[in-house]
């Protein structure tokens, strides 16, 4: 893979009219370019995506759907939205797609309300095991309005235990079974999930927000063609603008569309939908398939090297774009590790590990991922170096001189792999 072309932010007018905000945006771009982004849910979008985001559909109200809007003047907006829908359907082999969800949480909320009534029971993985807040956490709508029954990971392997999930499903008879996670480093057997759901008469729902880019590139099993409903964000491995989408079988199309609008949302953000259309086109290219493969290769290289340097990886490694490192082995908490790495311009997030004895505010682990550094063009060699740098910080979190040395190596790498000019 060649190093990606350099991309630009166009801020000429802002520079004139609002120098204060202009300066902040430039500083944020510099921060992104002068650091290594290992938060697995973040990525770097192309200049074409940025241009579509900053385009005139932001001026337009278009409540409703193509040809059924509540405002006039939407004939071109209809074409933009239909283009995004057609591209997404083709990318994932979906029968129906809704590209209006503003973000991952509202997408999941719409899916839940399309499939369930308040108080209905559903199954999902618990947050501290790698699930998401919207998968039934007590502080979230999903745990307040519906009745979650959580499955857990196997305490020995720290992986999904499909036999235990099947047993629980047979006992609990949920209306929906949710698979797809926020912090699970292993491959998901979606076919098995579908069989379990069919067996107990539950709807199959997958939240592929994290792995969507891997699914459409054929690097991870794609559940869309045979699952009832699949939600995703568009800004993680899919490398599009911040937003979300829902795909489903035709029989759920009307329920999904009505749950997004008028039930949950108002006017869709059509400039973002235009940017989604750009990203879906990009994701259908051979170059994107190569990118997705490299994301996984890079994650494996980073995980292997971290392990070789004496770190403990949850489940012993990774099959996808992310990994969890149990930093208590190095005498640290997740919060301390995140902060020390941040000083060295290496960005990650503190994260619970399965059966964590610590609180989510200062858990035992950190979560690392390779989507953004792979977009910058880095490969296995750089991952090896990165593992060494991360390990230096984890072993010397209080040493200013070590952090300074690591930071200067990080800056050197960053200068070699510039993405935004």
Interacting residue with ligand DSN among 142, 182, 232, 237 (CB under 6 A): 182
Q: Smallest gap, in angstroms, from Cβ of residue 276 to ligand DSN?
A: 17
164 token code pair: 């235990």
Which of positions 306-335 make contact with ligand DSN (CB under 6 A)?
none
Which of positions 251-280 make contact with ligand DSN (CB under 6 A)?
none
For strands 121-125 and 96-98, give the pairing: unpaired
In 64-115, the DSSP E strands lie at 64-65, 68-69, 96-98
Output the CA torsion sign for 44, 406, 323, 342: negative
Marked catalytic residue, from 90, 126, 147, 242: 242
CA distances from 275 to 87, 247, 282 (A): 12, 18, 11
78 token code pair: 């209809």
Nearer to ligand DSN by Cβ, of 374 and 391: the residue is 374
Binding residues for ligand DSN, how many (CB under 6 A)? 4
Q: Smallest gap, in angstroms, from Cβ of residue 41 to ligand DSN?
A: 3
Q: Smallest gap, in angstroms, from Cβ of residue 183 to ligand DSN?
A: 7
Q: Does 131 bind ligand DSN (CB under 6 A)?
A: no
Active site residue 236: yes
Q: Which residue has the tokens 């939205």?
A: 81
Active site residue 63: yes
297 phi and psi, to 5 degrees? -60, -40
Marked catalytic residue, from 37, 207, 305, 319: 207
d(CA 258, CA 63): 12
Active site residue 335: no
Active site residue 242: yes
**Taking a C-beta distance cutoff of 8 angstroms, is the pair 352, 128 a contact?**
yes
d(CA 280, CA 323): 26
Nearer to ligand DSN by Cβ, of 87 and 220: the residue is 220
Marked catalytic residue, from 51, 63, 78, 154: 63
Q: Does 104 bind ligand DSN (CB under 6 A)?
A: yes
Q: Does 375 bind ligand DSN (CB under 6 A)?
A: no
Nearer to ligand DSN by Cβ, of 41 and 222: the residue is 41
**Taking a C-beta distance cutoff of 8 angstroms, is the pair 370, 383 a contact?**
yes
User: How far is Cα of residue 347 from the mean position of the Cα atoms in its chain?
Assistant: 16
Active site residue 181: no
Q: Give which of 242, 243, 220, 239 is closest to 282, Cα–Cα.
A: 239
Q: Does 41 bind ligand DSN (CB under 6 A)?
A: yes
Marked catalytic residue, from 134, 233, 234, 374: 233
Nearer to ligand DSN by Cβ, of 57 and 131: the residue is 131
Nearer to ligand DSN by Cβ, of 132 and 137: the residue is 132
Reported residue count of the chain is: 421
d(CA 306, CA 330): 12
Q: Smallest gap, in angstroms, from Cβ of residue 268 to ligand DSN?
A: 20
Binding site for ligand DSN (CB under 6 A): 41, 104, 132, 182
Any idea which residues carry the catalytic annotation?
A: 61, 63, 207, 233, 236, 242
């Amino acid at each position: 893979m060649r190093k990606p072309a350099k991309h630009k932010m166009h801020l000429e007018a802002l520079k004139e009219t609002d120098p204060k905000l202009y300066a902040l945006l430039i500083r944020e771009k510099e921060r992104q370019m002068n650091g290594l982004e290992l938060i697995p849910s973040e990525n770097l979008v192309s200049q074409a995506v940025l241009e579509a985001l900053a385009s005139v559909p932001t001026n337009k109200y278009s409540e409703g759907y193509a040809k059924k809007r509540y405002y006039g003047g939407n004939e071109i907006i209809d074409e933009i939205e239909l283009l995004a829908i057609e591209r997404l359907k083709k990318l994932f082999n979906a029968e129906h797609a809704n590209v209006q969800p503003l973000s991952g949480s509202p997408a999941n909320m719409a899916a839940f309300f399309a499939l369930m009534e308040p108080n209905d029971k559903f199954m999902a993985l618990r947050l501290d095991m790698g699930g998401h807040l919207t998968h039934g956490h007590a502080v979230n709508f999903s745990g307040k309005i519906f009745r979650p029954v959580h499955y857990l990971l196997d305490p020995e392997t720290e992986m999904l235990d499909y036999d235990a999930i099947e047993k629980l499903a047979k006992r609990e008879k949920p209306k929906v079974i949710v698979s797809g996670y926020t912090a699970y480093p292993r491959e998901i057997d979606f076919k098995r999930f579908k069989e379990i759901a069919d067996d107990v008469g539950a709807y199959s729902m997958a939240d592929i927000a994290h792995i969507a880019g891997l699914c459409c590139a054929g690097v991870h099993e794609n559940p869309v063609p045979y699952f009832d409903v699949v939600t995703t964000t568009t800004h993680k491995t899919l490398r599009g603008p911040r937003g979300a989408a829902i795909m489903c079988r035709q029989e759920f199309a009307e329920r999904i569309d009505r749950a997004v609008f008028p039930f949950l949302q108002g006017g869709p953000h059509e400039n973002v939908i235009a940017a989604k259309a750009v990203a879906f086109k990009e994701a259908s290219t051979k170059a994107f398939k190569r990118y997705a493969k490299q994301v996984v290769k890079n994650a494996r290289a980073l995980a292997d090297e971290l392990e070789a340097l004496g770190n403990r990886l949850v489940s012993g490694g990774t099959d996808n774009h992310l990994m969890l490192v149990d930093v208590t082995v190095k005498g640290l908490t997740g919060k301390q590790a995140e902060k020390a790495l941040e000083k060295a311009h290496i960005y990650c997030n503190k994260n619970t590990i399965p059966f964590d004895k610590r609180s989510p505010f200062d858990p035992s682990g950190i979560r690392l991922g390779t989507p953004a550094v792979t977009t910058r063009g880095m490969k296995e060699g750089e991952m090896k170096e990165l593992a060494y740098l991360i390990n230096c910080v984890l072993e010397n979190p209080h040493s200013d001189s070590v952090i300074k040395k690591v930071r200067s190596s990080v800056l050197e790498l960053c200068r070699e792999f510039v993405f935004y000019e």
